[in-house]
Amino acid sequence: MKKFIHIDMDCFYAAVEMRDNPALANVPLAIGGNSRRGVLSTANYIARQYGVRSAMSNYHAKQLCPDLVIVPGRMQVYKEVSAQIRCIFARYSELIEPLSLDEAYLDVSDSKACHGSATLIAEQIRADIFATTGLTASAGIAPIKFVAKIASDENKPNGQFVVLPEQLQQFLAELPLGKIPGVGKVTLEKLHLKGLYTGADVCAKGVNWMQQHIGNLGVSLYQKCAGLHIGQVATQRVRKSLSVEHTYEYNKTSLAACLEQLPCLLAELSRRLEKQKLAHHINKLSVKVKFANFVITSADQSSFQLDKTIFQQLMTKAYERGGNQPVRLLGLGVGIKYQANDHIQLSILD
């Protein structure tokens, strides 16, 4: 029987800022850019009580919480703290899969720590993190990987939740489908239209029905809800894409104004590709446009190198879909493809 732990730091960026500046400890706080159009990366729990969430614009967040304090992020500090946390993980398992700076999976099936108890290991990891960094973390423990991730959110902040093997079947049967990683708002609405709300609903339909009516996603959902998808911790994470984007304080009201932003975006994308040594692994170019009405569209084309002319064509194509709507955000991206003989080992800090 596998033993997975999912560790998730509590409002990580905001928690670091509150730790380093006690004056921020008891105020609604968010991390984000200073412009009106800036987007928040996270918010503390006081701010969340007002409805403030990550990926929300500064303007919207301020409407919900006029007293919200927004501070710029300090990514280098967050990376340093994340590295400390990774060192703690390594005391308990070699099988670690970071998902971001503030969360990771651990497979502790063969760990001898804490008498082999995954529950006690999770408690000790959280205690070690607090002793080392002064920050709190939440944990989920389960015999199935994705269930551990769901469980880590059950007793936030600064708590943990265990799904024992004998509890697994009931947990999956009662599980709302929207809690399954990868099931977003649009997908969930489609599942609801099919009468699917819980794991039990999926299992009752059977794998053949799910494949016929939902497709490959239906098969994956059935395997998860039936407890057949155990999962494994991937110690190497391979980047499949890389992108840059910018939200503008004032809308771009013409195609020409959008195209003027292309050199700056392209230079930033090129720098990131060179930094991560990915310039020779490009297989696709893409452009993203978000209009003032928040409709998002994208266009892409196969290419094995950065090409300003192709980006211009893609941006023109995407812009014209908006019917001359003003533009609030532009982004450029590339698809990444590795050859079979490439030796890949990317750090989460890359």
State the catalytic residues: 103
Residues 236-282 pLDDT 10s: 767 789 999 998 888 999 999 999 999 999 999 999 999 888 888 89
Residues 313-323 pLDDT 10s: 999 999 999 98
Predicted confidence band of residue 140 (pLDDT cuts 50, 70, 90): very high
What pLDDT does 237 receive?
67
The alpha helices in the chain, defined as continuous H runs, are 12-20, 45-48, 58-64, 75-90, 118-133, 145-151, 168-174, 185-193, 199-205, 207-214, 216-225, 255-259, 262-275, 308-320
What pLDDT does 346 receive?
42
Domains in the chain (CATH in brackets) are 1-163 (3.30.70.270), 168-225 (1.10.150.20), 241-336 (3.30.1490.100)
Predicted confidence band of residue 218 (pLDDT cuts 50, 70, 90): very high
Give the C-alpha separation, 331 to 267, whole Å. Answer: 12
Q: Tokens 């990868």 label which residue?
A: 182
Q: How far is CA 13 from the centre of its chain?
A: 14
Is the distance from CB of 303 to CB of 279 less than 8 angstroms?
no
More confident residue, 343 or 186: 186
Query: Quick check: 339 pLDDT over 70?
Result: no
What pLDDT does 277 receive?
86
